A and B are shown apart, each in its own frame.
Chain A
Amino acid sequence: MKPEIAIIGAGCTQFGELFTKSYNDLIAEASLEAIKEAGIKIPQIDGAWLSTAFPDVGVYKGRSGLDLAETLGLYGIPITRVSNYCASGADAVRNAMNALLSGDVNVALVVGVEKQRDRSPQQSIVKMMVETGHPYYQKGFTAAGTFAVFANRYVKEFGLTREDLACVSEKNHKNAVLNPKAFYKKEIKREDILRSPMVAYPLTLLDCCPTTDGAAALILVRNEDSEIFKNEKPVYIRGVGLSVESGWDQPFFDSEFDFITFKGAKKAAEIAYAKAEISNPLSELSLAEVHDCFSISEIVLYSDLGLCKKGDEARMLRDGLTQRGGKLPVNISGGLLSCGHPVGATGVRQIYEITRHLQGKAGERQVSGAHTGLAQVFGGPGSVSSVTIISSKK
């Protein structure tokens, strides 16, 4: 059954090193853009969700929904913080949808925000992983390393090359040139990607997304209510799936984990496709925003999202099927590799991006004739994933 939810407002801040803006400033900026587009007043919102994954990386903001209430003066309504690693933003949207569908809430605000650059890299999420993780389990991994193990398995099983990995980064950086909100709006040549410093072999610095500040917001209502509001071009969420397929430790301590599949993404896509009645995603989708936290992730996702057979990903990439003007442009925004990855905001930003394309308001980067888009995020070592299908039609 389709979820029957409409997006009537969307907002997104500039992504980048936003030294002059605070966590609360970012919430305000993204929320106001969405609220303005929806044509509502703040007090009309009767339920809100705040997605921040790592409060400790910023300035201890985002531990609960209180920070959203305080910023907008939004009191007397339920506000919940959602934390589900990098899938937090998409999960906040899913929770808001369910509250709307239950009738508990009529106008929902979802804000995803993360302020990663208020701290030096020496105090970053990578340091957190090294220092505050379990004393023995996986000790020595950075985030990049937990994806490099996928890449090395792909090299072994399918002959993936470092060139192929660089292709992803090259494509997404090229796309970002046309996205004014991206962190890096610069074309980067393949040889420069290959030459950049090694982070976790075989992933170089430019195979990794940057830590970033940013926020995105959405106003959601039930389809039946969407005409009440002023937005001329609402878009519709036709399917959403979220699935947890492993814990944080399981892949590294369970010999059945194959390191070539993000099972969560596969399952989430199956659920979302079924709800949205999509049987051939490659031809039915107009664009996709996927979780390219590292170049290898986008490659593995092509097959997990049903766009090709396992092992055919590199060929799909080399044939240009996923580039601008290809059969299914993937990460036309520049993806996480160029926009950056403010963890709690990313899932919401992807939906914002798809929304603008479906509305025909994506400016220079507009995918022409876009009617249906897919947004996908995952968290942990591919452990939890969400897929959202959005359409210009109800």
Chain B
Amino acid sequence: MSPACGIASSISYFTVYSPSLVLSGEEINRAFGTNILNNKSQRRVANFDEDALTMAWNAASGCLEQTKTVPDHIFLCSNTLPSWPCGAYLLSSLGLSLSTPVTVISGSWNCAFDTLSLAFHTAAAGKNVLLVATEALSKYALSNPEIAFADSSCAILITPDMAGNRHMFKPAGNFYSADTFEPLICNSDGSTKIFDDIRFTTSKVSQGISELLGKIDKPQIFGFSAFDDKISSAVRRLPQLAKSRFIDDPIHTIGFAGCVQPFLVLSMTQMKHGDIIHLCSLGGGARITALSTEFEKFAALPTGQKAALINGFEHFRNIRTFMDKSEPMRSTFTSEIIQSRDQQFLLNLNGIQCKNCNKIYTIPQSICPSCHEQSEFIQKPLERRGTIFTFAHEYYVPTPNPPVTMLVVDLDGGGRLTVQAADCSPDETAIGNKVKFVLRRYHSGNNLPNYFWKAVLL
């Protein structure tokens, strides 16, 4: 299979978002009274105000910022998205037109490959496609210590490739097998069930993958993602893979993030010109897809995302259940009307500028309070970065991570926003520090969440 027979679309950019909180295997072992986990293993888990949607924003905004591309179509791949209209929130917060089509794909850990296939085909038809895979699985870690459930997201910009043949998609390398069944069931209440005879499962999986491998070229590089080490080890021992180079599954350093996992595996590899990588994942069946590359490497694992160790499993439990269980979070005033009126404005981070006196406002105005001229405003996209003008650490605002730090931020390019700080401790906050805005979940009321900006230190 030479790159020439691939569809003319390629991966232009690839970002991975991994939350900063780290839950250690040691803490999990202690909480469940087992030593099932390697004490060195750890998982990246979302903060209390993060979910699959906010993480999708993180990866996607990173990708779009770097490439300055406006996508024609978004494929949003996830099994754990909140049930409200995620497409609209994502488009607004990315500052994209609400008429951009967003296709949500879910159903299996393998839906990543379905999505990848669709995305490549759509790009081959001349569209710039943003594929976003996101998963918030760590709530399942509350009931099952064995599986390395974690939270993560990635975004891949796939563009029509007229000349370069950079990262080629090989449709012929996409195989599906229904021979293996899904050995892991995640219920919506956060509980999990694994079929008891993991050895049976393991052998079924290796057998299925072995059959798949019989139908394709011997992989040069093989990346396999699964939720369990035993299955990975069994696959590694397959004779067809004897001469392949394996990509490490970051299951012990980041954890298992469902449909995002094949992309996390992909992000681990250093690739040389012309390498062909076969990615395989396990879900309702096993799937293998092949990609070839002319880039030296894909985006490396997320850098600059500092790690913060969670102090105890009980604290992790608080973080994970706070939004659902905390009474103040659920009874807080929420209005669909205000949301429809203000959120488009606020999530887009569009300010307004008075045509008469040029003053910039970050929240809606009907009359310019400065020059009192009426209704002469132009839209002014606000910078998503700024400088702390002043702050307060609030010790009595409900949060699993007290205190809540409030930041008054003067934006680069004009305007001021006051938001909560995210992922920082009080001693890191000082007047004059630079921050950038990230999308986070605030409280929910009437089952309606409020997504708004928080600031993280740069």
Contacts and interface: CB of A to CB of B under 8 A. Distances in A.
Q: Quick one: which of B331, B361, B397 has the most chain A CB within 10 A?
A: B397
28 contacts: A130-B332, A130-B397, A130-B398, A132-B333, A135-B338, A136-B343, A137-B418, A142-B396, A144-B396, A145-B392, A145-B397, A146-B392, A148-B393, A148-B394, A152-B431, A156-B390, A198-B395, A200-B394, A200-B396, A252-B418, A253-B362, A253-B415, A253-B417, A253-B418, A255-B414, A255-B415, A255-B416, A259-B408
B339 A135 contact: yes
Contacts of B445: 135
Nearest to A129: B397
B395 A259 contact: no
Contact of A152 (B363, B391, B403): B391
Contacts of A144: 392, 394, 396
B396 A138 contact: no
Contact of B391 (A135, A149, A249): A149
A133 interface: yes
A132 B342 CA distance: 16
A147 B398 CA distance: 19
Interface in A157-198: 197-198
Name which of B331, B408, B417 has the most chain A CB atoms within 10 A of its CB: B408
B392 A148 contact: yes
Nearest to B360: A255
Given A135-B333, A135-B338, A153-B431, A255 B328 contact: no
A252 B416 contact: yes
Interface in A8-23: none
Contact of A141 (B335, B392, B398, B443): B392
A252 B389 CA distance: 10
Contacts of A139: 420, 442-443, 450, 452
A259 B339 CA distance: 29
Interface in A248-268: 249-250, 252-255, 257, 259
Given A136-B452, A140-B404, A140-B406, A200 B338 contact: no
Interface of B: 328, 331-335, 338-339, 342-343, 346, 361-363, 369, 389-398, 403-404, 406, 408, 410-411, 414-418, 420, 426, 431, 442-443, 445, 450, 452
Interface string A109-153: 000000000000000001100111111111111101110111011
Interface of A: 126-127, 130-142, 144-146, 148-150, 152-153, 156, 197-201, 249-250, 252-255, 257, 259
Contacts of B395: 197-201
Contacts of A135: 332-335, 338-339, 342, 442, 445, 450, 452
A146 B397 CA distance: 13
A377 B395 CA distance: 26
A152 B442 contact: no
Nearest to A151: B392
Contacts of B411: 255
Contacts of A197: 395
B406 A126 contact: no
Contacts of B343: 136
B333 A253 contact: no
